[in-house]
Structures are given as C-alpha cells and as structure tokens.
Amino acid sequence: MGGVVTAIILLVIIIWILTSCIKIVPQAQAFVVERLGAYQGTWGVGLHFKVPFIDKIAKKVVLKEQVVDFAPQPVITKDNVTMRIDTVVFYQITDPKLYAYGVENPIMAIENLTATTLRNIIGDMELDQTLTSREVINTKMSTTLDIATDPWGIKVNRVELKNIIPPAAIQDAMEKQMKAERERRESILRAEGEKKSTILVAEGNKESAILEAEAEKQSAILRAEAQKEKMIREAEGEAEAILKVQQANADGIRMLREAGADEAVLQMKSLEALEKVAAGQSTKIIIPSDLQGIAGLATTFKEVASGK
C-alpha cells in the first residue's frame, strides 16, 4: 500500500515538473532564459520547453510601447527662476537581452536621465522662452534620451512636458501681465471699432450728399426741360393762333372780292387785320407801304359816318 502511494506521489511530481517545463509566450512579449545562471536565449511568441532545474526564465519583457509619468522635477532657468516640470516618457523595449542585463533598474535610470537632461536644457533658456518652447524641449529631450537608452535595449519614442509650474510670484506677475495685455487689446479693438464707425458714417454722409446733389441736378434738368417745353408749346400756340387769324382775314378778303367789293372796303379790312395783329404779343409788326392811303381812307369813312 505504501509503495502505491509513493508511486502516485512520484507520478504527480513528474507531471508537475513536465508541466512547469512547458511555457507559452503571449503576443507582444519575450522571455529571457538563463541556463545555469548564464544567458541562454530569448523566447518569442509560441510554445517553448525548458530543461528542468537547469533552465530558468530570468525576465519577462513586454514589447508594447509603454508610458511612464515622472514626478515634477525642480529646474532653474538661465535667468535664475526655479520652477517644477513633470514629464511623460513614451518608450518601447527593442532588445530584451540588453533590457535584462543593461541596467539594474531601467525605469529609475530613465527617470534620473530625464531629470538631468531637463535641467541641462532649461538651464540654457530663460523663463519666457521656456514657457513658449515646449516643442523644442520635447525634441531635444527625446533625441538625448533615445541615444542614452540605446545600450539598455530601450527606444524612447517621444517625451512630453506635462506641466510647467513656475513660482507663485511669477504666476501672479504673469496673470497681471496677461490681464494688462487683454485690456490693451480690448482698448485697441474698441478704438478700431470707433474708427471704422466714424469712417462709415462719413462715407455715408458723403454718399448722401452726392446723391442729393445728383437728385437736385436731375430735378433742375427736368424743370428746365419742362419750362422749355412749355415755352415751345406757348409759342407754337401763338403762331398757330396768328396763322388762323391771318387765314380768316385772307378768307374774308377773298370772299369780299368774290362778292364784288371795291378797293376801299378791302383796305379797311386790311386795317382791321393790322389792328388785331398789333394787339397780340408779337414783338415784330409788318406795316404796309401804302399806310398813308389807308389812313386817308379811314378819315373819309369817319366823316361819312358822322354826317358831314
């Protein structure tokens, strides 16, 4: 009975040993394997077997890009302003063997290297330049860290400055400066608005005056044309009236001739026509050459009418 139990125990131990020797490496990972304390190899993704009691998985390495956020570090600018800056480093392990044996604590090494690199860069820059040169600082730090961490099997993809925290006094001064700058811009915008408004009003008045003058000009032209048209029509009416009077007189004289009237009657009718013409608004009167004879005839008729 005791032999059976011992056999079962031995079988369980053997199965456990064989199971522990079978390893599956997941995706985006790598296992660093040592044999008798020395580096044996690096296992990639898939199924692997190790020799019991001889091989050992020294380190499991994640090959995905990783992010580490470091605490704020005190730095001093070129103009002797102390501020605190915290950084975020994006890195990726490219060589598991170098990562396992290159440095004792890679993350701590990166943190210290980041702090010293940041102090060196900020030490050559003034406060205002530091606050406005994030991209420049990020690029310089990324390049420096990538070169320094290459022997450790680490590639630094990028570095970002998360926060730049200046002293409280500097923050108050910056806020006052920003407030003054905003007020200045507001004053400039207000002045520009008033200037544009004044210009628009002046242009409006100018256009209004031009339109009024143009309208007055057109009105004067229309009035002159209307007056001219009126005078033309009045002149045409007077000419037509004179023409009709003359035509009537001519018709009367013709009728008298056809009726057999003598020369004296005809001269009297001509005198009456002359009187009507003289009573008009014409400025030029044509007087017959035999006016004396007509006057004598008129005197004779007057005497006959008075009974002398």
Q: Please report whether residue 81 resides in a domain.
A: yes
Q: Is position 12 within any domain?
A: yes
Q: What is the CATH number of the domain that holds 135?
A: 3.30.479.30
Domain match, 21 and 34 both: yes
Write out the residue range of the structural domain in which residue 90 sits: 66-166
Q: Does residue 275 lie in a domain region?
A: yes
Residue 20 in any domain: the answer is: yes
Provide the pLDDT for residue 99: 92
Cα-based torsion angle of the residue sequence 201, 203, 207, 212 in order, rounded to the nearest 10 degrees? 50
Which of 29, 61, 93 terminates a domain? The answer is 61
Q: What is the pLDDT of residue 308?
A: 44
Number of domains in the chain: 3
pLDDT more than 90, % of the chain? 27
Q: Is residue 246 one of the residues assigned to a domain?
A: no
User: Where a domain ends, among 45, 61, 77?
Assistant: 61
Domain boundary among 21, 43, 61: 61
Q: Is the pLDDT of residue 276 over 60?
A: no
Q: Give tens-digit pLDDT for 137-172.
A: 999 999 999 999 999 999 999 999 988 888 888 777
* Claim to verify: residue 160 and residue 74 sit in the same structural domain: yes
53 and 92 in a single domain? The answer is no
Task: Indicate if 84 and 30 belong to the same structural domain.
Answer: no
Residue 304 has pLDDT above 90, yes or no: no
